Amino acid sequence: MKLDSNGGSVSAALAIGRLLRKLDSIANVDKNAHCLSSCVYVLAGAPSRAVDGVVGIHRPFDPDDKVTSRTAQSEKYRKLGVEITAYLKEMNIPTRLYDDSLFISPERIKYLSDDEMSAYGLNANDPYEEEADAVKQANQLGISRAQLISREAQAKMDCELDEINDATPKALVLNRLGCRDRILKGMR
């Protein structure tokens, strides 16, 4: 699913994130796109994530809020925090994402660096999903997980996979992926 949103309803974002998880979807924030505010919870829900655009966080707010008491606001955010942190745990995302967002007022949105996105797990795949996929791949190849790690490392070095980008000619991409495939299958 391609994400490009300024945010919206937190409850809707959590529902969409859970749907992405159920459907085993990939969430993409493309180069010129942004995922701000509650959109970050949609991104967190996808088991696979690719972020080339902008991701920003801030304290959730209700645009129609009428509560003027600090005590009532505190109770409202305590309840919201319980819901959001349970969701983040369910999605294998550090709960400090919500905790940190509380101290960022909506008018001062914080745009996340790559390092910050990594710390929150937003620009990486779910680690448990990734590990399950790796074990499946090792089983399909008839090798151990340790052998797969070794072959992946060899393929990364021998096939120059880190050199692939959007400008790499298709024939060269196919050649390098073929190289990787041969190494993973033990044919090289």
Residue 137 pLDDT: 94
Quickly state the pLDDT bin for 149 (edges 50, 70, 90): very high
Domains of the chain: 10-125 (3.90.226.10), 128-184 (no CATH)
Angle at 43 between CA 37 and CA 45, to 5 degrees: 120
Instruction: Dump pLDDT digits (tens) for 85-118.
Output: 999 999 999 999 999 999 999 999 999 999 999 9
Is 2's pLDDT higher than 80?
A: yes
pTM: predicted TM-score of the whole model, two decimal places? 0.84
Within 93-151, strands assigned E span 110-111
Q: How many residues does the chain have?
A: 188
Quickly state the pLDDT bin for 26 (edges 50, 70, 90): very high
Rounded to the nearest 5°, which phi and psi values hold at 133?
-65, -40
Residue 168 pLDDT: 85
With a CB cutoff of 8 Å and minimum separation 6, the contacts of 46 are 1, 17, 20, 21, 25, 26, 27
Is 4's pLDDT higher than 80?
A: yes
pLDDT > 70 fraction of the chain, expressed in percent and rounded: 100
Residue 58 pLDDT: 97
With a CB cutoff of 8 Å and minimum separation 6, the contacts of 53 are 4, 29, 30, 31, 32, 33, 34, 35
Please name the amino acid found at residue 125: N
